[in-house]
Structure 1
Amino acid sequence: MKTKNKTPLRQCTGCREMKSKKEMIRVLRTPENEIVLDATGRKNGRGAYVCLSQECLEKAVKTRGLERSLKTAIPDEVYEDLKKELNDIEKQQ
């Protein structure tokens, strides 16, 4: 009998729903305290996830979900990068 691999679930900092990692974008605080987007999901550091929707990003900004998850203030440029990234993803779909 083969056992099916479990898909890793993560919680969105906007809508608070549990989804698979593939359905989300990872925001990372590196050991040097930089905030970057992690497309690979494999970089070192503390990660927080947001669904691939503008709505969830807006909720995460409003409730400061990302800042709480990463335990640091997040510069506006990071939110701008996230918005651009989500726009690009939405155009591809």
Structure 2
Amino acid sequence: MKQRKVPMRKDIVTDEMMPKKELIRIVKNKENEVSLDPTGKKPGRGAYVSINVDVAKKAQKLRTFDKAFGIKIEDSFYDELINYVDHQQARRELFGNDK
């Protein structure tokens, strides 16, 4: 059977290429609203961060998405990101990488 190509994306915090399934997309829309995009299909400019709490905390500390999108992002977004990443990381540990 032919092996499928795995889409790769770059983690904006670590500059590491990883499979798209191991990353979370953060999107900025035309109204300059920044949000999590678990489906990866929202319209707008996207940036990726790995499902790792330490990386998410580093993104908050360095204000990575402020720089990437060129706008000031509230701390509440980074808190939401860390909580979401923590939840997803726990799911992966419980259920494996399939989910």
What interval of TM-score do these two structures reach, taking the shorter chain for normalisation? 0.7 to 0.9
Instruction: Return the letter of the residue paired with 2:85.
Output: L
8 Å contact 1:12–1:18 — kept in the other structure? yes
| TM-score, length basis structure 1 | 0.85
Q: How many residues align?
A: 92
In 1, Cα distance between equivalents of 2:22 and 2:12 = 13
Q: Which amino acid aligns with 1:74?
A: I
For 1:77, the aligned partner's letter is: S
Deviation readout 1:11-45 (Å, 9 max, x if unpaired): 11221101111100111101111111000001100
Which 4+ residue blocks in structure 1 deviate beyond 3 angstroms? none
Pairing of 1:79-90 with structure 2 (within 5 A):
79-90=78-89
RMSD of Structure 2 on Structure 1 (CA): 1.8
Deviation at 1:62, TM superposition (A): 2.8
Gaps of 5+ in 2: 94-99
Answer with 44-53 or 67-76: which moved more.
Answer: 67-76
| Bigger RCO of structures 1 and 2 (CA < 8 A, at least 6 apart) | 1
Amino acid at match of 2:75: D
Does the 8 Å CA contact 1:14/1:58 hold for their aligned counterparts?
no
